[in-house]
Structure 1
Amino acid sequence: MKQIEKTQRIRDLLTASAGDVDIDALRVYEAIAFNTLPIRKEHFLYKGARADRNFLLEMAAELKRESRPVQIQHDKEPLPIGRVFHGEVKDTGVDSELRVLFFLDPTADAQATKIEAGTVDQVSVSVMPKQLLNSKSGFDYLGPEATSEHRWTGVDSEGNQLGKSGVYAQMRGLANFWEMSLVGQGGAQNARIVTRDKSHFGESYERLAASGIDPNSLVLNATATKETPMDISAFVADLTAKTADLTKAQIDLAAANTKTTALEATIVERDATIVDLNAQLEAAKAADVAGITAGRDAAVAALSAVAKNVLTKVGKLDVELPTDVAALSALIDEHSAALVIKAGGTSQDTPTDLSSTPALRASSFRRAR
């Protein structure tokens, strides 16, 4: 029997992590999720790699902050079958190990059966350290000085290769802890589901496994699988081809930028021409308006003089003159009819009955001698 008893402490931990759920329906298990022993994984960075005790403590702290999913073989596609909800670091005298509690939900009958039968008894975590230090030189494969070649080969700047001649990667600082999975063989030595009599927590728990998220090759999925080594020559050839493509693209971009600059200059010149033409048009309009206004004012002045003369001759001295050409012309036309010259040299406004005019005496024009 591998399920552990749900003590009151475990029930409290479940409630704190999962909330208001049917605790009695959950199967709880304990597992050694990770430890400080060398990792048995054929990977150019993680072969023989070791986590320090602080790394395990950070994983335990993350579980207090948020539980992690239990997956199968780091397959992130299906939904998890349970959760890892608690962890503690235990020192054995040989190494330090992260003991975790996980539960399986009621739908995971098949997985629970395999655990109880011993068919599935190992686990694997999916984690990412903040630093991967070469044990000999201290070179950080995740640091700013590391190149893709360092990471793909495991060789540092001094020629020390991880996994050879006793050189290994030291995992320092936890960057990410994604999940724990049920696996056939774990990458961490002794990473397995423990039996009830060897339980650190002394409780009956559901199976411990985590959901796998493997975003890139630097993530440690701690299963004992062999990584396919990279063909460096093919990698370099591919990189060279990509560099040539990038160079051509940069040349094309430079030519396009030159053309764009020329077009922008043409646009600026065109806009300047438009501004100049608009200014000339506005000046012409202003000149036309001024000329028309001056001509109108001159015509009004001339017609006003004529109108005054006509009105004076017809004896209308108190008429207010209009100020526009049309009205002045109409006024002149209206009163000009009275100024038509008759036969005999008189105009229509000259009196015709001269007999009524007093006769001037010749003596009026004589001088005294």
Structure 2
Amino acid sequence: MKQVVKTPDILARLRAAVGNDIAVDNLAVFEAIALNTLPLRKKHPLYNKSVVDRGMLMEMAASLSQESVPLQVMHDSEVLPKGRVFHGQVVDTGANSELRVLFFVDETETDTIKKIDAGTVDQVSVSVLSKKIINSVSGFDYLGADSTFDNVWTGTDPDGNTLGENGCYGKLVGLDVWFETSLVGKGGAQNARIVPRDQAHFGSSYQKLAASGLDPNIFILAASTRNDQMDLTTLVASLNEKSVELALKVSAFSALEASVAGKDTEIAALKLQLADAAKPEVAAELATVKTDLEAKNAELAVAMTALKGIATKVTTAAGKLNITVPETVPEIEALLTETTTNMAALLVAGGKAHDAAEGEKNAAPANLGAFRVRKN
């Protein structure tokens, strides 16, 4: 028989947990090692050979003074609990420490009580969240802000140290939430079992336990070997913030990917144009156009030279010497227009212009008196 004798201290703890109005004399009370600092025997990537820090055990014990924990069977929280875990204390056993707890089973659960007393149901498992999981080699926190999904899924830190390999292990530090304790066939924590009465720690003397302040965090350790696969439902719920962040990054990546696809289309079109330009018939056509353009430029140069020559002759004929002929057609045209207009004004009747010699003759008639001989 494994039921613990209900001392006055245990009865006081019971009444504090369930209330003074509840009859506690008929409740079956048992003692168990809920968790300890020995390496865990789970295959979960974060808990493979990991150990629980003694301080976390202390926080678990202290939390029971604030609120009792449901006692389930095989971590099945969909059914009502069969009892409650109502008191705990950390006990040091050599190099290791263990969390001893007291739990009661409802008096209506006669079959469960009989199986525990008979040793058929012998082990327990806790379902808890720790504040941190620290890599023993690098100090990397798998629950920290720098942790990625790859770190969680593989148990490997950024330096390549994998939990459970080559002496590397995880250290569970700090308590987040203690969800429940279950009766199980085999616990994930070594020696997590219901102890016989003669090995019980609790008796007539108790120590007061101090509560510790706790910070919220993620990941549940269900310390049983029943299911070593990750609880995806719990994981997704606890990683909601990171999931949203990942979704936003995926959306941004999709938009970038679409933009790159558009650029790829433009590049493909340009490549087609370049390919067309490289075709022999296109190259021949471009060569012909180039030749025609060079011929036109040559003709234009000859025409410009001739036009400048005509402008020089016209200005010279108009008496405008040392005139610099402009370099553009519009300027040459303006010069010719001005010059021919002035020339038209100098034309005389009959269509003959006065030349310079004739002008001088008309302007200054010869004085023949100078050649007359005076007669006496």
Identify the residue that residue 202 of structure 2 maps to in structure 1: 201
Structure 2 residue 247 is matched with structure 1 residue 246: no
List 4+ stretches of structure 1 deviating above 4 A: 242-245, 247-251
- Residue number in structure 2 paired with 1:125: 126
Question: Hey, what does 1:101 align to over in structure 2?
Answer: 102
Q: Which residue of 1 aligns with 2:4?
A: 4
TM-score normalised per structure 2: 0.58
- What's the CA shift string for 1:74-102, capped at 9, x where partnerless? 11100001000000010111310000000
The CA distance in 1 between the partners of 2:230 and 2:69, in whole Å, is: 30
CA 1:111 to 1:146, structure 2 compared with 1: closer, same or farther past 3 Å?
same
Q: What corresponds to 1:92 in structure 2?
A: 93
- Where structure 2 has 5 or more consecutive residues not aligned to the other structure, the ranges are 205-216, 232-246, 260-376
Secondary structure of 1:151's aligned partner: helix
1:224 to partner: Cα distance: 2.1
The 1-side partners of 2:122 and 2:4 are apart by: 15
| Cα distance between partner residues in 1 of 2:35 and 2:175 | 13
Aligned to 1:172: 173
| Aligned-residue offset at 1:248 | 8.3
Could you say which residue in structure 1 is the equivalent of 2:16? Answer: 16
Kindly tell me: are residues 24 and 162 of structure 1, through their superposed partners in 2, closer, same or farther at Cα, counting changes over 3 Å? same
Structure 2 Cα separation of the partners of residues 226 and 78 of structure 1: 18
Whether the 8 Å contact between 2:65 and 2:86 is mirrored in structure 1 is yes
Per-residue deviation, residues 242-281 of structure 1 (Å, max 9, x unmatched): 8997358758xx9xxxxxxxxxxxxxxxxxxxxxxxxxxx
Q: Go from structure 1 to structure 2 and tell me whether the alpha carbon gap of 1:226 and 1:105 turns closer, same or farther (over 3 Å shift).
A: closer
**CA distance 1:220–1:69, change in 2 (3 Å):** same
Q: Relative contact order (alpha carbons < 8 A, sep ≥ 6): 1 or 2 greater?
A: 1
**Aligned equivalents of 2:227 and 2:71: distance in 1?**
23
Aligned residue pairs total 232
Shift of 1:227: 2.5
SS of the residue 2:58 aligns to:
helix
Q: What letter matches 2:125 in structure 1?
A: S
What does the per-residue CA deviation read over 1:311-359, in whole Å, with 9 as the maximum and x for residues that have no partner? xxxxxxxxxxxxxxxxxxxxxxxxxxxxxxxxxxxxxxxxxxxxxxxxx
Partner of 1:54: 55
* Change in 2 beyond 3 A, CA 1:110/1:171: same
What residue is the counterpart of 1:32 in the other structure?
Answer: 33
Letter paired with 2:50: A
In structure 2, distance between residues paired with 1:223 and 1:103: 20
Matched, 1:142 2:143: yes
Q: Which residue of 2 aligns with 1:68?
A: 69
What RMSD in Å do the two structures reach over aligned CA positions? 2.7
TM-score when scaled to structure 1? 0.59
- In 1, the alpha carbon distance for the partners of 2:168 and 2:178 equals 25
- Distance change >3 Å, CA 195–CA 250, structure 1 → 2: same
